[in-house]
Chains A and B, each alone.
Chain A
Amino acid sequence: SQTIHQWPATLVQPVGSPLSLECTVEGTSNPNLYWYRQAAGRGLQLLFYSIGIDQISSEVPQNLSASRPQDRQFILSSKKLLLSDSGFYLCAWSMGRFSQPQHFGDGTRLSIL
């Protein structure tokens, strides 16, 4: 069966520091991968999605970037974190484009001080 792993679970970082969140999927090949941010009271916002290695689409302009160096690995990064980057970050995968339901990782709660 397929599983998705996301780490770390919690992260506290100072403003201006770099960021790297990692997400890996097991038990499937060539998944579609997604990064979301969930801010309190604002629902889930799609940040990036990827249909293949080195194929990344950005949904909103922001301080973050994403990379997919391997088929089942998706990384969310920032060179310099802002206070507004605080939130709950969720990685998800699906076996098709958006027409298939997405399956989520456990999330990373990021606090910027």
Chain B
Amino acid sequence: EDKVVQSPLSLVVHEGDTVTLNCSYEVTNFRSLLWYKQEKKAPTFLFMLTSSGIEKKSGRLSSILDKKELFSILNITATQTGDSAIYLCAALNRDDKIIFGKGTRLHILP
């Protein structure tokens, strides 16, 4: 059965800290991995990763995919209170199936 596992499930850090969120997957005919940020309502798209070893960056956020070890990480440097959210990881396969992880709830203390 295809699955996506995120860790940790919950994380509390202080403002200014750097965090690393993990996503591992076991998906048949894997195509791409996506990261979303969900604050109060709608998840917003962060990254789509298709190639292994190529880092994608957006401001203080970056992500990379390892297709050999079947995982991805999302890094957030110099965290701010506005980074508090649920971070969702999802895997797409070549049959157009999408599987979401349960998310990591990140809370940044001021």
Contacts and interface: CB of A to CB of B under 8 A. Distances in A.
Given A43-B101, A44-B90, A98 B96 contact: yes
Given A41-B102, A44-B100, A101 B34 contact: yes
A21 interface: no
Interface of A: 36, 41-46, 90, 97-99, 101-107
Contact of A43 (B41, B42, B92, B103): B103
A90 to B, nearest CB: 7
10 contacts: A42-B102, A43-B88, A43-B100, A43-B101, A43-B102, A44-B43, A101-B48, A102-B45, A105-B42, A107-B41
Contact of A103 (B31, B45, B97, B101): B45
A58 B84 CA distance: 33
Interface of B: 4, 31-32, 34, 36, 41-45, 48, 88, 90, 92, 96-98, 100-103
A36 to B, nearest CB: 8
Given A98-B96, A99-B32, A99-B96, A44 B45 contact: no
A11 B27 CA distance: 35
B72 to A, nearest CB: 15
Contact of A106 (B42, B45, B96): B42
B31 to A, nearest CB: 7
Contacts of B42: 90, 104-107
Contacts of A90: 42-43
A58 B74 CA distance: 31
A10 to B, nearest CB: 11
Contact of A99 (B4, B31, B43): B31
Contacts of A36: 100
Centre residue among A46, A98, A106 by max chain B CB count within 10 A: A98
